[in-house]
Amino acid sequence: MSILSLEHVSKSYMTDGAPVPALHDISLDVGRGEFVALVGRSGCGKSTLLNLAGAMDFPTSGTLTLDGVITSSLNDAELTRIRCIKVGFIFQSFQLLHTLSVVENVELPLMLAGKTEVRQSALERLRWVEMESYAARMPYQLSGGQMQRVAIARALVNSPALLLADEPTGNLDTVTGDVILELLRRVADEQRTSILMATHSVEAAAMADSVVYMRDGAVATS
Amino acid sequence: MPAVLLFYRLIVRPLRKEMLRTVLTALAVALGVAVVIAIELAGDAAAGSFRASVETLAGDSDFEVTATAGGVPPETLAALASLPYALRLRPRMEDYAVLGERTIPLIAVDLLADALPGHTGDSSSASVFQSDDSIWAGDGLGLHVGDRVRLLINDRTAEFSVRGVLGARSGEVIVMDLAPASRVLGRTGNLDRILIQTPAGKSLDEWEPLLRAGLPAGVTLARQGSRTNENRRMLAAFRWNLRVLSYIALVVGAFLIYNTISVSVVRRRAEIGILRALGATRASVLGAFLGEAACFGLLGAGVGLALGRLMAESAVKLIAVTVDSLYVSSRPGSIHLGWDIVLLGLFLGTGVAVLSALLPAWEASTVVPVEAMARGRREHEVRMHRWRNLAIATALGLAAWIASQQGPVDGKPIFGYAAAVMLVGSSALLIPALVAGLSSVSAGLIRRVLGVEALLAARGLVGSLRRTSVLVGALSTAIAMMAAVGIMVGSFRETVLVWMDDRLQADLYLRPAGPTGPDKHPTMSAEVADRIAALPQVAAVDRFRAYEISYGGMPAILGGGDTAIAGRYGRRPFLSGADPRVVFPKLGSGDTVIVSEAFANKHQVRAGDVLKLPLGGREGRFRVVDIYYDYSSERGYIIMDRKTLLRYLPDPAPSNIAVYLKPGTGMDEGKRVVEEATAGRRVLVFSNRTLRAEAIKIFDRTFAITYALEGVAVFVAVMGVAGALLALVIDRRRELGLLRFLGISGPRLRRMILFEAGLLGLLANVAGLVLGVLLSLLLIYVINEQSFGWTIQFHWPVAVLLGAISLVYAATVAAGLYPAWVAVRLNPIEVIHEE
């Protein structure tokens, strides 16, 4: 059974009163523990697709099912809850909170989910990404690669079924980027977490189980 | 021109994009300027345009001859007339008459010799002038020739005919001829003043010794208008203190300008880096940000001037109440917004804005392009400087303590104010440490008790420490001033209540009907007091007579009372701590007096000193036996025994009567029999309780203006919090968007922003209260004592403080509502992908 399923999904935005299509008739399945890469140029619709997959937005038409739940049938509170427990996000620019320490950043999703004993889980995740010794540091004291490791730890701390990664190596040099991609590969293999990764790098896509090519808001080749 | 265009594109255009924040900042300046302008305009109207009402119709006289109290003997007029100079002499009597609700100066002049200025009506015959019911009315009274009016003069009312109306701008005045006036006023023939107009040819400096040589002892020669000048001098301290209070809102506004420009610099760091890389000089970057501040200043000053003019209408009424209650009877003049005030407003608005922006603008000019991209470093630097700030704060605190120990300069508590400014500076520098310290100490607790939203809020504030500190600084300064003034006024009120307990021991108090004032002492017939004293229910009657006098170039009150009764019943506290039963008997024999604390401080008089007072045509020398606490008049009292006073001024009519009832006589019965004894006289009888309530009502009205000023300062600060929280939300929108990605719901995000507002309010309240208590000590023990010479016992007005602080706290949290709404409405997808 797939963790994420898109059936004829389209998405348009209204600009100056006229609809501007961002995604057109996308059908896609991501199985449990599967690592899928979305490849395409900037503006082809990769990020829009990730936002829909992460229950951050609704499709204009079509059906999106996340772990058996059709997202368009949910209200804002239910969407927030499903994001909290089923989805983890990784961004190109890491998006760590600069006011929180490394371990506090990782604890954050657990706390937002209402859990109280969070330190141990956070430290475990940091150990898994080999960042435990940096737990007390502030984000601005880390390198880009270290920040992205922390972001991965934070994304995994709730043990989500789906990890959405938007250009996770876009701000990193090649060597560091490869380390992060290997880490994502481990996530899929060892944690059995499904990954949907947007990238414009064919080399990065090579780490995935399957690659979806996108062009002008539609799937070009699968 | 390219510079102007660039300034428009890079500075003005962004201001227009964030209209709400721009408006809030400009409004903060506007309110600050408005309050200063309003107080300046209202002060000028209430006191600046003030002329002693008894100097109405003084014409173009050069000198005036007066006596300290009791009037100028008529022989003085003869002595002046016999001098070999062509002097124009205008003898006058001065008093007050009550027409309806209005108290109007009553001036008696020699109508046969002195033509009234431009009047209409009947002045054809001496019989008209000398009729006891003939009066001439000033044009401000709205009376017409032939009108019949009923006037209350001292404790009697009588009907008068309006024989003429004086010329334009004569204002509110009633004029009579001397002879009938002396009968109506019950005077013994003494004059109040002789105005002298000297012929041309000699300077006034030359005339002065010539005239002085021709005058008998016991009278005083002064330049005409000296009474007005005396009053102005007396009001100077009051106006000075009010003016200082009015600047608080501007200081709070300055904090907010600093904050706005700091935000602007932090936001545009990358932009500044690019501009510097493209060839912009440091000076041009500095100029651009100072220009931004000047825009706020000019905009604020423009609005502030208009607002200030409007606020002056209300302020003048509040100030007039204080002037009337504590200083001198006055009628506010018109409010005039002149060019000097307009320039003051523009100068203050732009000056304060530019000065407040200096530091952040300078920092902008030192931005290194490479560094400009590194976010987080600015905040880090503030943390690094915390110890340095702590050291400076300690030094400032120490300097404030040293300044508080210094005496006044030219009668003004300059060092006291300097100490207050240093304390505010010290507190502002301590705030980053306070914010970080309290947040880290309470982090665990906050998280456990209030949840993750509260923890995020606390961390958010510490993360923006620089900005948070300025905000807390602004709000805490406003709260501190509010608390300080609240404690000072509350302490003063409590001191007055305790003092009244000691001072007001009689059961009933009597005074003539009609308004009274510190410079108005209408009298009752002596027989009223005699009739009351003869009542079987009455144990004792203390007759008190007050005269308005001039001492050492300042107005004061000379009073005479029955010191034997005061010694027996009163518990008047003395500075020396001496028992009143020991002090009062000393007044019964010889020329001895006691003086009030305000008088002693104003004239540097100590127990044992001798006061020289020209009274009743001779110069008396009075030894000061002791100094007593008094809060009834800022002018200060000289009190002697009634018998001593009557030896110099043999007028037995009392101004006030205190009645002590025999034990067993009920208050209602006592009041009834006393009122019966005063039948036919316009006399007011107050019970002890009513008098106290009346006094406290006047006290509260007097300090209404200070609360109004504090209110504006707090409003400006709360408005600043709203603007700054909005800026924080906009700056942290990516973080807020991320939280939505991580699973925070809209209501929880709203709660987080409200927690931030609440934490800001809490920190500001803590810092403000501590600073406020310190400032209140300065106000009570340094500034008040040096300005007004009153001893105030420290007292905590707990209810007032709690009420005010809760209100400010609620307002601060409410100020977070709009930013919270904006935060919830942010589109997380848009803000997270902005880069």
Q: How far apart are CA B593 and CA B615, in angstroms?
A: 14
- Inter-chain residue contact A111 with B455, CB threshold 8 Å: yes
Is the pLDDT assigned to residue B627 strictly greater than 90?
yes
Strand order in the sheet with B610-615: B610-615, B618-628, B592-596, B637-641, B554-561, B538-551, B656-661, B508-512, B683-687
Range B522-535 average pLDDT: 89
Q: For testing the chain B interface, which of A96, A99, A141 should be mutated: the one with the most B CBs within 10 Å?
A: A99
Interface A-B: count of C-beta contacts within 8 A: 73
* A76/B745 touch (CB, cutoff 8 Å), yes or no: yes
Please write the tens of the pLDDT for every residue from A146-167.
Answer: 998 999 999 989 889 999 999 8
Both tokens assigned to B544:
């008190």
Is pLDDT above 90 for B367?
Answer: no
Mean pLDDT of the B760-765 span = 87
Examine the pLDDT at B342 and tell me if it is beyond 90.
yes
Q: What is the rounded average pLDDT for all residues in chain A?
A: 88
Distance CA B600, CA B97 (A): 32
Q: Which distant-in-sequence residues (6+ apart) come within 8 Å of B255 by Cβ?
A: B356, B428, B470, B471, B473, B474, B477, B717, B720
pLDDT for B52 equals: 47
Predicted confidence band at B57 (pLDDT cuts at 50, 70, 90)?
Answer: low
Whole-number pLDDT of residue A214: 92
H/E element, A69: strand A69-70
Q: Which residues contact A62 (CB under 8 A, 6 or more apart)?
A: A6, A7, A8, A9, A10, A25, A26, A27
**Partners of residue B833 in chain A, C-beta under 8 Å:** 47
**Measured on CA atoms in the order B253, B258, B261, B262, is the torsion positive or negative?**
negative
Q: Residues B694, B638, B602, CA angle at the centre, nearest 5°?
A: 90
| pLDDT of A186 above 70 | yes
Question: CB distance A47–B452 less than 8 Å?
Answer: no
Residue A51 with chain B: CB contacts under 8 Å = 829
- The pLDDT, as a whole number, for residue B379 is 44
Structure tokens at B111: 């109508």
Query: Nearest-CA distance from B475 to chain A in Å?
Result: 23
Q: What is the DSSP letter of A71?
A: G
What single-letter DSSP state applies at residue B520?
B
Q: Is the pLDDT of residue B113 over 80?
A: no
Contact yes or no for B764/B725 (Cβ under 8 A):
no
Which among B452, B829, B832 has the least Cβ separation from residue A111? Answer: B452
Q: Which residues of B touch A103 (CB under 8 A)?
A: none
Does residue A56 sit at the B interface (CB-CB below 8 Å)? yes
Q: If you ran DSSP here, which 8-state letter would residue B610 be given?
A: E
Taking any CB pair shorter than 8 Å as contact, residues of chain B touching chain A are 374-377, 380, 447, 452, 455-456, 459-460, 462-464, 734-735, 738-746, 748, 828-829, 832-833, 835
Nearest to B835 among A51, A93, A111 (CB): A93
| Cβ contact B807:B720 at 8 Å | no
Q: How far is B463 from chain A (nearest CA, A)?
A: 5
**B457, closest residue in chain A (CA to CA):** A99
pLDDT at B377: 44
Tell me which of B18-27, B234-243, B583-592 is least confident: B234-243
Residues of A with Cβ-Cβ distance to B380 under 8 angstroms:
140
Report the pLDDT averaged over residues B104-117.
Answer: 76
Give residue B734's Cα distance to chain centre: 49
pLDDT at B329: 64
d(CA B709, CA B804): 14
Helix or strand (DSSP H, E) at B748: helix B746-778
Give which of A180, A85, A89 is closest to A131, Cα–Cα.
A180
Q: What is the DSSP string of B388-417?
A: HHHHHHHHHHHHHHHHHTS--BTTB-HHHH
Q: How confident is the model at residue B252 (pLDDT cuts 50, 70, 90)?
A: confident
Q: Rounded to whole angstroms, how far apart are CA atoms B486 and B480?
A: 9
Average pLDDT over residues B731-746: 84
> Does position B386 have pLDDT exceeding 80, yes or no?
no
pLDDT tens, A137-146?
Answer: 988 889 888 9
Phi, psi at B168, each rounded to 5°: -55, 145
Which percentage of chain B shows pLDDT scores above 70?
Answer: 89
Sorted by sequence, the CB contacts under 8 Å of residue A61 that are 6+ apart come out as A8, A9, A10
What is the ipTM score, two decimals? 0.74
Is residue B746 scored above 80 in pLDDT?
yes
Could you tell me the pTM of the whole model?
Answer: 0.73
